[in-house]
């Protein structure tokens, strides 16, 4: 507990504010191209409700049209104005002259033996990112793992995406569009009302990229996904995974309140500096303090700590004991992720024994510690393997 007091006071609000401004300004440099087709038509996906109303006002339409369109786009999943039957034909035609309801196009689609499905989506400028649907084995539902960037600025040593430079941020339309295109593929429109189970019932921001380095676009996309008159996912059904961009964690908690997953992976700064280089900027104590501050953390809404098990690197019993000491008092669970090797990676996965010993220590301390079974390995869809094949790798740091 004394740790909490000392670290939160160490980050003064002014410094954090300045840091946030710096992060957002840098992020804007990687923004996507405007959501416009070469013929001048604008994509309506990704606009806020207010922006949609403005677009319609420009062509002389009343605000209720925005509500109608929102329903067609995000509740019914319609992509053609001609299918929007509550809108009169002449207006449908006028809309089609100026606007589109876009989707990323499918560059490739693969389905694994275990029914995990992976898409490589291509966006209007030709950039690509991967999305994975992971069915829940026990229930008729599952998670859509979404990418937030093409590539990543960070270079975690164990991560395949980390070998790729950041090409650019994905826009809001491209982020929510991955989920919408996945719903198209499973024919899951219209959106369910209430708690009707659906296959695609959860979003995890755990694909390519660091979502908190693309906060504005991610926030916009998640607000659209959470809007009750559209896709209508509750914030409890969205999990954002971060490698620890501390200043943006506060903002994410205050503004979006989605579930948080933190890619911890190491419990000592010397080791975390090496495998998650962002740790040099936001070390473990600051990261854990930000987790303690994260709003809404409770037993029903636990923070997930992700911990990738690397043989002989971070998988000892001493590491496990230090982990439970660090997170003591945080409503949390610890996802133990068997390392997925990729060609050229430096590490090996931990053995079954090490995994189980580690899990037992974490469990004895009162934290659930599921060992995440790799899914979709035969189609390279498992965690950390997402990477656009065609890109040049960066030289080793």
Rounded to the nearest 5 degrees, what angle is found at the Cα of 275, between the Cα atoms of 178 and 332? Answer: 65
Q: Which CB, 74 or 158, lies closer to ligand SF4? A: 158
To ligand SAH, the closest distance from the beta carbon of 252 in angstroms equals 12
Contact set for ligand SF4, span 142-201 (CB under 6 A):
152, 154-156, 159, 161-162
CB atoms inside a 10 Å sphere around CB 162: 23
Residue of 30, 339, 358, 367 that binds ligand SAH (CB under 6 A): 339
CB 232 within 8 A of CB 171: no
To ligand SAH, the closest distance from the beta carbon of 76 in angstroms equals 31
Q: What is the spatial distance between Cα 207 and Cα 226, in angstroms, rounded to a whole number? A: 19
Please give the size of the binding site for ligand SF4, defined by CB under 6 A.
11
Strand order of the β-sheet with 117-122 is 105-111, 117-122, 128-135, 142-145, 200-205, 238-242, 259-263, 303-309, 332-338
- Listing DSSP states for 319-372 in one string gives HHHHHHHHTTTS-EEEEEEE----TT-S--BPPHHHHHHHHHHHHHTT-B--BP
Which residue in the shown chain puts its C-beta closest to ligand SF4?
162
Q: Which CB, 159 or 361, lies closer to ligand SF4? A: 159
Residue 314 interacts with ligand SF4 (CB under 6 A)?
Answer: no
To the query of whether residue 383 is one of the catalytic residues in this protein, the response is: yes
Q: Which CB, 155 or 340, lies closer to ligand SF4? A: 155
Going residue by residue from 250 to 279, which x/- string records binding to ligand SAH, judged by CB under 6 A?
A: -------------x----------------
CA-based nearest residue to 166, from 392, 397, 345, 396? 392
Q: What are the two backbone dihedrals, phi and then psi, of residue 105, each rounded to the nearest 5 degrees?
A: -90, 155
Rounded to the nearest 5 degrees, what angle is found at the Cα of 315, between the Cα atoms of 118 and 241? Answer: 40
Catalytic residue among 145, 152, 291, 383: 383
Going residue by residue from 22 to 61, which x/- string records binding to ligand SF4, judged by CB under 6 A?
A: ----------------------------------------
Q: How far is the CA of 277 from the CAs of 80, 159, 272, in angstroms?
A: 45, 12, 7
Which 3 state secondary structure label does DSSP give 18? helix
To the query of whether residue 252 is one of the catalytic residues in this protein, the response is: no
Using CB distances below 5 to 8 A depending on partner kind, what does residue 308 bind out of ligand SF4, ligand SAH, none? ligand SAH
Rounded to the nearest 5 degrees, what angle is found at the Cα of 303, between the Cα atoms of 300 and 309? Answer: 130
For residue 160, the 8-state DSSP code is S
Residue of 337, 359, 361, 379 that binds ligand SAH (CB under 6 A): 337
Using CB distances below 5 to 8 A depending on partner kind, what does residue 131 bind out of ligand SF4, ligand SAH, none? none
Instruction: Match 């409890």 to its residue by tokens.
Output: 236
CA-based nearest residue to 358, from 396, 397, 394, 305? 305
Q: Which CB, 191 or 202, lies closer to ligand SAH? A: 202
Q: Which CB, 102 or 151, lies closer to ligand SF4? A: 151
To ligand SF4, the closest distance from the beta carbon of 63 in angstroms equals 40
Catalytic residue among 61, 130, 174, 306: 130
Going residue by residue from 129 to 168, which x/- string records binding to ligand SAH, judged by CB under 6 A?
A: -----------------------------xxx--------
Cα dihedral 232, 233, 236, 237, rounded to 10, equals 170
The residues of the shown chain that bind ligand SAH, judged by CB under 6 A, are: 158-160, 206, 210, 241-243, 263, 306, 308, 337, 339-340, 383-384
Hey, which residues are catalytic here?
A: 130, 383
**Interacting residues toward ligand SF4 by CB under 6 A:** 152, 154-156, 159, 161-162, 209-210, 243, 263
């Amino acid at each position: 507990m004394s740790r909490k007091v000392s670290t939160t006071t160490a980050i003064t609000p002014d410094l954090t504010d300045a840091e946030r401004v710096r992060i957002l300004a840098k992020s804007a440099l990687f923004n996507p191209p405007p959501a416009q087709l070469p013929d001048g038509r604008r994509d309506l996906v990704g606009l806020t409700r207010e922006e949609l109303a403005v677009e319609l006002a420009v062509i002389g339409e009343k605000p209720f049209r925005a509500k109608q369109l929102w329903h067609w786009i995000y509740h019914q999943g319609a992509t053609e104005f001609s299918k929007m039957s509550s809108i009169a034909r002449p207006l449908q035609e006028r809309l089609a002259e100026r606007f589109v309801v876009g989707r990323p196009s499918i560059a490739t689609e693969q389905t694994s033996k275990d029914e995990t499905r992976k898409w490589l989506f291509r966006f209007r400028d030709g950039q690509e990112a991967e999305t994975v649907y992971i069915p829940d084995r026990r229930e008729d539902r599952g998670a859509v793992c979404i990418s937030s960037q093409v590539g990543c600025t960070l270079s975690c040593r164990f991560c395949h995406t980390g070998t790729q430079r950041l090409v650019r941020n994905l826009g809001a339309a491209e982020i929510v569009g991955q989920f919408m295109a996945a719903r198209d593929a499973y024919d899951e429109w219209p959106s369910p009302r209430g708690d009707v189970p659906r296959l695609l019932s959860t979003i995890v921001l755990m694909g390519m990229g660091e979502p908190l380095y693309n906060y504005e676009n991610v926030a916009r996309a998640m607000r659209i996904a959470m809007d009750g008159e559209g896709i209508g996912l509750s914030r409890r059904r969205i999990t954002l995974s971060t490698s620890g961009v501390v200043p943006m964690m506060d903002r994410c908690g205050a503004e979006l309140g989605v579930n948080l997953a933190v890619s911890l992976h190491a419990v000592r700064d010397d080791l975390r500096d090496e495998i998650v280089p962002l740790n040099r900027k936001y070390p473990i104590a600051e990261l854990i303090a930000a987790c303690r501050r994260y709003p809404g953390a409770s037993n029903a809404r636990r923070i997930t700590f992700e911990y990738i098990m690397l043989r002989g690197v971070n998988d000892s019993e001493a590491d496990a004991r230090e982990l439970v000491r660090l997170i003591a008092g945080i409503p949390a669970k610890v996802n133990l992720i068997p390392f997925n090797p990729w060609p050229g990676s430096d590490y090996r996965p931990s053995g079954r024994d090490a995994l189980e010993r580690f899990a037992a220590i974490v469990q004895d301390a009162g934290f659930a510690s599921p060992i995440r079974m790799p899914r979709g390995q035969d189609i390279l869809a498992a965690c950390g393997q997402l990477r656009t094949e065609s890109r040049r790798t960066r030289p080793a740091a």
